[in-house]
Amino acid sequence: MMIKIEFEKLAWPRGLNLDLLEEIKDKDNHLDFIILKSFLDRKKRRIMLPSWTTFKKVICHYLWGLVEKKEATWEEVKKFIQDNFKTVKSFAVSKHQVKRLWGQRSKEIENGN
């Protein structure tokens, strides 16, 4: 199985407002999006890119979720990490760490973040 990350299924912290990016997938939608969102208050309009730590946690949450749902194996996840982040070591995660980061992000989601 080939793993493909589906952006809309990533569980980003709410404060980053990255879910707004999902609304502007196609180029024809940019102007309408800007006009519609320009009436929101500043905090709701702001999109922040995640830190490396947050990015890694969200990606690990998504990937281990695939393992938990039996949609992928650890070997497939490991290969995906190696192919996309050069080595598991540069991504700095092991199977144990991916599972731990998945648990941390799951608790954050339960607490509303």
| Domain region containing 43 | 15-49
Burial degree of 82 (CB within 10 A; 0-12, 13-18, 19+)? middle
Supply φ then ψ for residue 33, to 5 degrees.
Answer: -60, -50
Supply φ then ψ for residue 62, to 5 degrees.
Answer: -65, -50
Residue 105: CB atoms within 10 Å? 23
Query: 65 and 98 share a domain?
Result: yes
- For 57-69, how does the pLDDT look when each residue is reduced to its tens digit (9 = 90+)? 999 999 999 999 9
Query: 54 and 42 share a domain?
Result: no
- Predicted local confidence at residue 24, as pLDDT: 74
Q: Does the residue 86 lie in any domain? A: yes
pTM of the shown model: 0.79
Q: Does the residue 7 lie in any domain? A: no
Query: 57 and 84 share a domain?
Result: yes
Query: 28 and 76 share a domain?
Result: no
Q: What DSSP designation does 96 have?
A: H
Q: Does the residue 5 lie in any domain? A: no
Q: Does the residue 36 lie in any domain? A: yes
Q: Does the residue 26 lie in any domain? A: yes
What's the CA gap between 71 and 73, in Å, rounded? 7
Q: Does the residue 44 lie in any domain? A: yes
Q: Does the residue 4 lie in any domain? A: no
Q: Does the residue 3 lie in any domain? A: no
- For 62-102, how does the pLDDT look when each residue is reduced to its tens digit (9 = 90+)? 999 999 999 999 999 988 888 887 655 567 678 898 899 99
Tokens of residue 21, six digits:
């990016």
Q: Which among 48, 54, 45, 43 has a CA at the least distance from the CA of 10? A: 54
